Structure 1
Amino acid sequence: MTAANLEIVGAGLRQATRRRTVPAVRLTLVSAAHGALLGVLAAVFVTLVAETTLNGLAVVVWGFVYGVLVGALGGLFRGLVRNRPEAVTTEVLPTRYEVRCTAEELSVAQTLLADAADVDDGRVERTVIADAPHPGQQQRDAA
């Protein structure tokens, strides 16, 4: 049996909506971490390029502190103002899948499905539908 003789088709389609919101605390913490990284990188650049009255470690520490503050404020603003639950993503998902094959391959497909005990989780209904139309066959029938 070749893969060209099989079709796996999603059936019983339904629309699923997903609200994409991230908690404001998480956005604040992640943005603070990003800000800290940017602050440390900027401080290292300043210590390499500019003349300062502070030693290099102090500049890096201040860069870290300012980066955390700016990043946390930016993440908090984004979490409270722009993180609206009205932004909904809609997807079309199948509730079950069908394996389709030609009538000649029906016994082979049934044997393969019966032997697939390692994939059985009790949620999947296994059926084989014979004589599934193939795209090339539909074009020949139309002509």
Structure 2
Amino acid sequence: MTDRTVNDKNREPLAALIGSLPALVSNLIKAEIDQVKTKAAHLGSYAGKGAVFVALALIFLFFAIGTLVAVAILALALVLPAWLSALIVFVVFLLIAVVLALIGVSYFKKMSADPNPIESVKKDIRAVKGEGEYDRY
């Protein structure tokens, strides 16, 4: 782009200003595209670093939960034999896992109960033809 003062632009004929419009629009679009590329690179960089830290946090959380399980076993071992406390904690976790699995299976069953879009389209086609069940007004 050339450096022009305000007075230079005022003296240019309208045709010259209109002639420079495509170049200005092209430069503007290129600048916007470059800005979007830069922003995408920054977002990708931040997202990658954030994902690494979240993954590290999840790893530490995994070991913290294991430590909490050990604390529960040791606390029960104060009043019961150690093997029995470990067995009790195991059974509690097993029951929790079974309940969560049953809840998950029920959601999968609900997923298959949703109406099929293809069947809905077929029903609409039959309704247009005047066949099958449909609401009549």
Q: TM-score, normalised by structure 1?
A: 0.27
Q: Kindly indicate which of the two structures has a greater share of residues assigned to strand.
A: 1
Higher relative contact order (CA 8 A, sep 6+): 1
Q: Kindly indicate which of the two structures has a greater share of residues assigned to helix.
A: 2
Q: Which has the larger radius of gyration?
A: 2
Q: TM-score, normalised by structure 2?
A: 0.28
